[in-house]
Amino acid sequence: MNRPKLVVIGNGMVGQRFLEELITHHHGFDITVFCEENRPAYDRVQLSSYFSHASAEDLSLASDTFFADNNISFLCGESVTRIDRDSKTVVGSQGTNIDYDTLVLATGSYPFVPPIPGRDREACHVYRTIDDLDAIRNSAQSSKTGVVIGGGLLGLEAAKALKDLGLTTHVVEFAPQLMAVQLDSRGGELLRQKVTELGVEIHTGKATQLIDDGDGHRHKLVFSEGELEADLVLFSAGIRPRDELAKACGLQMGERGGVVIDNQCRSSDPDIYAIGEVAVWQGSVFGLVAPGYNMAQQLATLLCGDATVAFAGADMSTKLKLLGVDVGSIGDAHARTPGAQICAVDDNSTGTYKKLIISEDGRLLLGAVLVGDTSDYDTLLQYCLNRIELPPSPLALILPDSGDKPVLGVDALPASAQICSCNNVSKATLCEAISAGCTSMGALKTETRASATCGGCATLVKQVLNAELKRQGIHVNDHLCEHFPYTRQGLYHVVRVNQVRSFDELVSRFGSGEGCDICKPAAASILASCWNDYILDPKHVGLQDTNDNFLANLQKNGSYSVVPRVPGGEITPDKLLVLAQVAQKYDLYTKITGGQRIDLFGARVDQLPLIWKELIDAGFESGHAYGKSLRTVKSCVGSTWCRYGVQDSVRMAIFVEERYRGLRSPHKLKMAVSGCTRECAEAQSKDVGIIATEKGWNMYVCGNGGMRPRHAELFASDLDDESLIKYIDRLLMFYIQTADRLQRTSVWRDNLEGGLDYLQDVIINDSLGIAEELETQMQAVIDTYACEWKRTIEDPDALKRFRPFINADSADEQVVYVRERGQKRPARSEETNNITLVETV
């Protein structure tokens, strides 16, 4: 039998999701897909990662065999030039003619470029596709300064890309504030302040009238008042629907473009549907991926026989990290609802702003704005989406955590509550999947796609999983792995109390089997924390992960990094000279890190001992950048040089770093010491932060950067040196004893019953009577410290592991590099065929 012909125009994220949904419904179509780009669908949400660590293959959403495996005719690199509705055919740019019974438009959108004279000059780009990013990267190689025209979500994302490329970056925005659609004026003002502090210059209220030749740079942007010069211009001023095909064939269009659709994604032609950013539903174009995914799911279900499904709009709430700044916008962020009330917390000391928009009767949350701290976003979103009645004092939801903040448990959420907005996964869907046998996060993600796109809902998904398993009477296993019936905390105490000195002894006495890649590194960390043995000792070496195995961080191309310790960021000219000489000798990429030391990248595994021999001889030691241990203690220049400094921050930073160097812990540790409250060392974003006062030191704890930044909390004030070090000793050892595997101090602190008050009681007041024991254990670690690299280069047996081949002394020729900005970097896969660019080392 002839199957109905389905043609899909467009293979972006939404078009690809539509195909995947069709496959899950066991469709009965002959499918042809037109893909204008020269590659299948890829993840535009993570597009900026292409400038840092991701390749085109990493971003791909379709496997190499997806289309062949599912009998889909995939026309890659071919666009559609015309739709003939009378004959029901589409014509491709390469002369292809395809008949259709059903046609789906998934053509997405294009970047809007304002009609500015000079917009088509050399090194003027848009930020939309991988090809665009390649063009931007090429222009950046001959540029020093870049400017982004547009200060919305996409504009700030583009600004981050330019900064990642090493350009001095400006953002020009026509509106009087950044992110005017999502944020109120105060939120926009704080965002501007934070972005400016990160080194991006912001120009709001500016309309670019002309792009012309610059005097000192390639371009000059001319405003009604003033000028700005740059070498590279990046347009990111919004999007417009790719609707030219629909318009040419006579479909009904929206007032501002786009294909008008009904609740079933059907256009004015009953055989043509539209999904994603090309579609206009009730006058709205949805520029986020979640509504597009929802349309794709609904349409696939409809075409496979379920006529009851309907698209009902989408929540446009967003939580993002823009240039390292947390931003959240929920619901009616501008308080446009009649009678809406507002309550807000504007904390200049921490750089956070949180605003709630509440219904006139005070019962419901209508919207919220969060800048600087989005830790309350998930809770507030559930209150808003599910119309959950607010507590008597709604302000308590956004006040700093005092231990009694109202908690919205997952049991309070209705079955219809949307847990994953990207993939439109409800609590009911998760519970059904759990009942059907998905009893792990991995299985739940595979079955429902919850947390599979941006990952922001992973914590909430895990809470639903645990609550549903408990409701069903299923024990929630908190064992480290199948080989040990203990938590990480329990295993630590087994090792400490029973004086266990090796993994073989541990697994034979207290576990089973041979271990795995979960328990082995965890046990290695615990053994190192307790006894501080050499980690490459034969009885320990098999437990280490790749980085610890070679005492270096493995990089994306198979080479390794060399990171010597620079305590407190203080270094002599002689040592700087040694680093330069070593980098030149071994042709290493050099970069100054945010932790005030110099990383040397690109070393082959066989070169590591040679490099470290020279560094050790010059007085350097391992920086432990490869281990879950203390990394750096950052400092400002303090009272030694700074006119504002009130204490010697460098002296304290060096003392602290040398005291805790090599300390193994559940997660990496970072510290900082600032010489005054101006906080140049950014101590309040560290696991332990120390800030000088006129009377001594303020101690902050449990902050971190990373994917979920958190400000550290004030733990104790005006401490003398002795008390400060005593409290740090106790805190770190208590954390090592009680934290879970790979748990940061911030998460550990959040999970402590009693919160900060409890932690202060244990560490300062010794409420558990363990202070002396904690101090003694820490002193034992300090007394047994030895530089792991110094020990390694003195051990002939240990050096054997750094030979890339057992039976030969030759180097690994698969490690390849490209020259860029005067240094080498790892070659991307698409560059390895270009012999003129690539060198094999």
- 672-704 pLDDT per residue, tens: 999 998 899 999 999 999 999 999 999 999 998
Q: How many CB atoms lie within 10 A of CB 635?
A: 29
DSSP letter string, 52-74: TT--HHHHBSS-TTHHHHTTEEE
Q: How far apart are CA 410 and CA 466, in angstroms?
A: 10
pTM for the structure as a whole: 0.59
Burial class (CB in 10 A: 0-12, 13-18, 19+), 306: exposed
Residue 54 has pLDDT above 80, yes or no: no
Q: How far apart are CA 327 and CA 313, in angstroms?
A: 23
- Categorize the per-residue pLDDT at 841 as very low, low, confident or very high, splitting at 50, 70 and 90: very low
Structure tokens at 634: 């950052």
Q: pLDDT at residue 833 above 60?
A: no
Burial class (CB in 10 A: 0-12, 13-18, 19+), 710: buried
Mean pLDDT of 717-739: 96
pLDDT of res. 689: 96
| CA-wise closest residue to 601 among 567, 662, 558 | 558
pLDDT, tens digit, 9 for 90 and up, residues 564-623:
999 999 999 999 999 999 999 999 999 998 889 999 999 988 899 999 999 999 999 999
Say if residues 513 and 505 touch (Cβ distance below 8 Å).
Answer: no
Interval 454-480: pLDDT, tens: 666 777 887 888 888 888 877 766 788
Q: pLDDT tens-digit profile of 355-404?
A: 999 999 999 999 999 999 888 888 899 899 888 999 988 998 998 765 55
Cα of 630 vs its chain's centroid, Å: 22
DSSP states of 253-297? B-TTSSEEE-TTSB-SSTTEEE-GGGEEETTB---SHHHHHHHHH
Half-sphere exposure of 548 (CA within 13 A, CB side): 22
Q: What is the pLDDT of residues 622-681, one digit of tens each?
A: 999 999 999 999 999 999 999 889 999 999 999 999 999 999 999 999 999 999 988 999
**10 Å Cβ neighbour count for 511?**
21
- Could you give the angle at which helices 153-164 and 130-140 cross, rounded to 10 degrees? 50
* E strands, 421-563, in order: 425-426, 560-562
On the question of pLDDT at 150 being above 90, the answer is yes
Q: What SS3 state is found at 471?
A: helix
CB 642 within 8 A of CB 675: yes
Angle at the Cα of 412 (from 410 to 414), degrees rounded to 5? 95
Taking phi over 0 as left and psi of -120 to 50 as alpha, with beta for the rest, 28 belongs to: alpha
Query: Tens digit of pLDDT for each residue in 773-791?
Result: 999 999 999 999 999 999 9
Identify the band that residue 831 occupies on the pLDDT scale cut at 50, 70 and 90.
low
The H-assigned helical ranges of 91-165 are: 130-140, 153-164
